[in-house]
């Protein structure tokens, strides 16, 4: 298995704040990588660097063998990289179908509008939003908006999908539904990195996990290895009750 993504020594600073320090990992194709860590650990910043929103001060990112450091997000989308946002960002004034159509239009396959609408309908069917296609995106509830974000990302037919807390704010049955969807996406051959605080889910679904703390990569390995790592327990899992409480507050 070859690596679809190589992240080498990524360092990102915001003024005096060291958001990421020499983050390095390779991601084999077809895997699900879980990215965990306390709030403010730099997880979303890492997504923003991979995704081209920020350029790193140091380090390179290679995607499918090409150096993509500093590429614009729209170039990366064409190359097959898609993401969802932690705080959902639907195109509120457009319908659900139009949102997903836009994903297909401007994504990797750069589809014509007519075909993009077909793809949008297929993806909406898959994700379970088909009956809402005509509604304005603003009229959806949070769980539906999360699905919409997924649908939009999927419609671009990405090779690599970055999922930023798609489970946050969902109730347990919605979480189960979402996990099933993530599994299905992986089974279609899409590589996934997911940032997640819902430990049960991330431990279950990930092939590998990376733990960030204060921008440092403090552990990497299978879910079992990570869960047993003393530094991880100290930094993050340490007090499971506290973690649970934090999750509920979100």
- Binding residues (CB under 8 A) for other proteins: these are 51, 53, 72-74, 77-78, 83, 85, 89, 91-95, 98, 101-103, 105-107, 110, 112-113, 116, 134, 152, 156
Residue 32 CB neighbour total at 10 angstroms: 22
Alpha carbon distance 98, 83 (integer Å): 18
Q: How far is the CB of 226 from other proteins (least distance, A)?
A: 29
Residue 138: CB minimum distance to other proteins, A: 10
Helix (H, G, I), strand (E, B) or coil at 25: strand
| Cβ-based nearer residue to other proteins, 159 or 236 | 159
Smallest gap from Cβ 236 to other proteins, in A, equals 28
Residue 55: CB minimum distance to other proteins, A: 14
C-beta of 51 vs 69, nearer to other proteins: 51
Instruction: Tell me how far apart the alpha carbons of residues 3 and 110 are, in angstroms, rounded to a whole number.
Output: 24
Tokens 């991601």 — which residue? Answer: 27
CB of 121 to other proteins, least distance (A): 15
Q: Give the residue from 174, 166, 184 showing the smallest Cα distance to 85.
A: 166
Residue 221 backbone class (left: φ over 0; alpha: ψ -120 to 50; beta: rest): left
- CB nearer to other proteins: pick between 79 and 178: 79
User: With contact defined as beta carbons under 8 Å apart, do 99 and 91 qualify?
Assistant: yes
- Choose between 129 and 232: whose C-beta lies nearer to other proteins: 129
Find the shortest distance in angstroms from Cβ 114 to other proteins: 9
Which of 58/121 has CB closer to other proteins?
Answer: 121
DSSP 136: B
CA-to-CA distance for 208 and 222, rounded, in angstroms? 5
Q: Which is nearer to other proteins, 157 or 208 (CB)?
A: 157
Q: How far is the CB of 89 from other proteins (least distance, A)?
A: 5
Cβ proximity to other proteins, 65 vs 93, nearer residue: 93
Rounded CA-CA distance 237/98 in Å is 41
What span, in angstroms and rounded, lies between the C-alpha atoms of 135 and 93? 10
E strand spans, the chain: 3-14, 17-28, 32-36, 58-63, 66-67, 81-83, 160-164, 191-195, 208-213, 216-221
């Amino acid at each position: 298995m070859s690596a679809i993504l190589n992240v080498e020594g990524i360092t990102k600073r915001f003024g005096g704040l060291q958001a990421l320090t020499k983050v390095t990992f390779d991601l084999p194709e077809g895997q699900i990588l879980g990215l965990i860590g306390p709030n403010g650990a730099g997880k979303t910043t890492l997504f923003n660097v991979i995704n081209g929103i920020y350029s790193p001060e140091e380090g390179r990112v290679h995607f499918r063998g090409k150096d993509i450091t500093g590429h614009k997000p729209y170039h990366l989308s064409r190359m097959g990289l898609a993401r969802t946002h932690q705080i959902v960002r639907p195109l509120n004034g457009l319908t659900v179908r139009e949102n997903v159509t836009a994903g297909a239009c401007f994504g990797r396959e750069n589809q014509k509008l007519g075909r993009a609408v077909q793809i949008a309908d297929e993806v909406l069917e898959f994700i379970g939003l088909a009956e809402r296609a005509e509604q304005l995106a603003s009229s959806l509830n949070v769980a539906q908006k999360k699905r919409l974000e997924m649908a939009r990302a999927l419609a671009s037919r990405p090779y690599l999908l970055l999922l930023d807390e798609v489970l946050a704010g969902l109730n347990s049955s919605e979480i189960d539904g979402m996990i099933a969807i993530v599994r299905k996406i992986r089974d279609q051959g899409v590589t996934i990195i997911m940032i997640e605080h819902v430990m049960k889910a991330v431990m279950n679904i990930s092939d590998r996990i990376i733990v960030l703390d204060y921008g440092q990569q403090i552990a990497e390995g299978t879910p079992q290895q990570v869960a047993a790592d003393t530094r991880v327990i100290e930094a993050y899992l340490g007090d499971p009750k506290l973690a649970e409480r934090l999750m509920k507050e979100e």
